[in-house]
Each structure stands twice: as structure tokens, then as C-alpha cells.
Chain A
Amino acid sequence: MSEEKKDVESNDEKSSDFDIDPNPKQEWQTREKVMAEKVAERFELDAPVVFRGQYEFTVEASRIVQILRELKEDEEFAFNRLTDVTAVDYLKLEGYEERFAVLYFIYSYEHKTHLRLRVWVDEDDPRLPTVSGVFGAANWGEREVYDMFGLEFIGHPNLERILLPTNFGSFPLRKDYPLRGRGERDDFPRLRRGEKEDL
């Protein structure tokens, strides 16, 4: 029994993917690395953040549409799928450029590689251009970011709330929004017994 247990433990240690070798051995890691190098060279981007073999580039808001369009349409990259658009609020956290960051997760079916792009958004002027003209999938993703964080996507065809009711006044995923809300959940008329329908 004790020997079996030892075997299991040692296997667990081996299969842990927390420490990824800087010199990749597996095929997918090489693929991601080569693609990231190509992207960095083509668009003259700063060194990416690497975590668990995933690459993330920081891009200025003014360039995001053009970069995404080229990444999608150029056959060398062929990032033809936008997996997700989301945002992060770094309120009062030190060491970050701005309060908000918008993240674009893209994937290439052809080359089987992932990539993540980060755009910093200013707290006082939370606006950035829409990429829904490049990826149709960005339409709802950007609406969700607007709904939850209040970031405005310039040129979006239909920038309305997508999850919350349209008259909801706040942006609940901002870190300064209280968990129990600002009274939105208590703001309804109270119906009485025998009340008639207003036809």
C-alpha cells in the first residue's frame, strides 16, 4: 500500500503545470512561443507577459482595431476566433498603469495557437474603440463589459445593457460597487391585495 501511495504522489508532482519550462519541450508550447515571437516582431510590441505557456501583449487603445484586423486577416496569423472580451478593475492596486484593462482572447483554428491582448483604459475617460467591426463576437462581449464596468466602446452598433435591466443605474463589477447594491433591489412598487391591473 505504502509503495502505491508514493507512486501516486510522485506522479502528481510530475503532472503539475505550475512551473512551465522556459525552454518548451511540448509541441504546443513551442507553437505558442513561435507565434508570439512572430506577432511581437510584426507589430513591434513590448515583451509579452508569459504565464503557463500563454502569451499576453499590451497594446495601445488606438492600435487595437488595426492589430486585431491584421491578426485575423493575415494568413500568417489567421486568428479567426475571438474567444472572449472581458475587463478587469484594478482599483487601488499598485503597480498597474490604469484602473481598467480590457482583455481580448483570440485563437487561431489554423495554427492552433492562443493569444491575449491587453488594453489599458483610463478611469476618468473610460472609452476605447470597438472591435465589433472585425469580430462579430465582440458585439455582445463589449456590451457585457459596458454593462458590468461602464467602459464605453466608441462606434459600437448597439451599446446597451445586455444582462441587467436597462434602467439599472450602476456598473456592478466595479470594485467600488457594494455587494448588496445601492438599493436597486428594493426599488419596486409594493402591490396590495385586491389591486387591479392597469389596462
Chain B
Amino acid sequence: MGLEDLLPPFFATKLQTLLNWSRKNSLWPMPFGTACCAIELMSTLSSRYDLSRFGAEVLRFSPRQSDLLIVGGRVCVKMMPVLQKIYLQMPEPKWVVSMGACASCGGVFDTYTMIQGVDQFIPVDIYIPGCPPRPENVIDALQMLQEQIGSGKK
């Protein structure tokens, strides 16, 4: 194409910038879907909204192979130890998205067995409001997270 002649055969950057750039564009989400948010997450991943356009298409149900934990749905007292174990099993660096009202604050389920926000017990990077959130909200959250990863804040 002739473009190669115009560009220098190398470019200079910082190693950390390169790492962040590659990390932010190859997120491997691990869905922790326990309720209707997971349905909306599936919609986000499928052809109409197509999350893979933003570099996060490889969904892994194995925490050892993923670096983005998406908690979508109600987390109950019996599920919280499982969620913590999954969080610990994920390799560093890792990020957590709390998707929807229930995961973020318990939603309307203010009862004895519902965790009132997973951020009480695991670190959360991005919260998505909504019940359930629209796929656009999920994409927006992913891009916010990518921005933060790219700038080295997270």
C-alpha cells in the first residue's frame, strides 16, 4: 500500500503504556450472572450490541483465564463465599464490574439473605446503575474501565 514507506520502522513508548494499551483492548470477562442482569449481559455480547467491537469478546467461565469479573444479579448469603473464591482465583491484574442495582446495593431485596452491595466484600471498579441496565450502559462501563486501565489509574 505504500504506507510503510511513510512511517518509521519503529515507534517509541513506555513499557507500562504498552502493557496498559494491550490490557485494555483484550479484556477477558468472567460473567458471574445470577439473575436478569445476566440476560442483559448476553444481549450485550450477542450480535446486535456486540461487545467484541470493544475488545472484550472472549467470555470465560473459568476465573483462572479471565481478568474482568462482571457481577450481574442478586448475590445471596450462600453465594458470597463462592464469589469471593472466584475473585481470589482470578490472576492479577483484575477488575470488577458491579452490574445493576442488586449487585451494587441489594436493589429492592432488603432482606436477611441478600448481600447489600458486593462492594462491601470485594473491591469494585465500575458500578452500572439500572434494573437491569441497558446494553449501552454495559458498553459505556466497559469503555470507562478501558479508559482507566489505559491511563494507568487502575
Name A's B-contacting residues (CB within 8 A).
Answer: 164-165, 168, 170, 172, 177-182, 184-186, 188-198
Contacts and interface: CB of A to CB of B under 8 A. Distances in A.
A189 B112 contact: no
Contacts of A195: 88
B112 A172 contact: yes
Contacts of A179: 110-112
Chain B contact patch, size range: 20 to 34
B72 to A, nearest CB: 19
B115 A185 contact: yes
Interface string B110-135: 11111110001111000000000000
SS class of chain A's interface: helix, strand, loop or mixed?
A: loop
A54 B120 CA distance: 49
A160 to B, nearest CB: 13
A184 B116 CA distance: 11
Contacts of B111: 179-181
A194 B95 CA distance: 11
A185 B113 contact: yes
Contact of A184 (B88, B112, B121): B112
B77 A168 contact: yes
A69 B78 CA distance: 36
A165 B78 contact: yes
Given A168-B77, A197-B88, A190 B120 contact: yes
A76 to B, nearest CB: 45
B35 to A, nearest CB: 17
Contacts of A191: 84, 87-88, 121-123
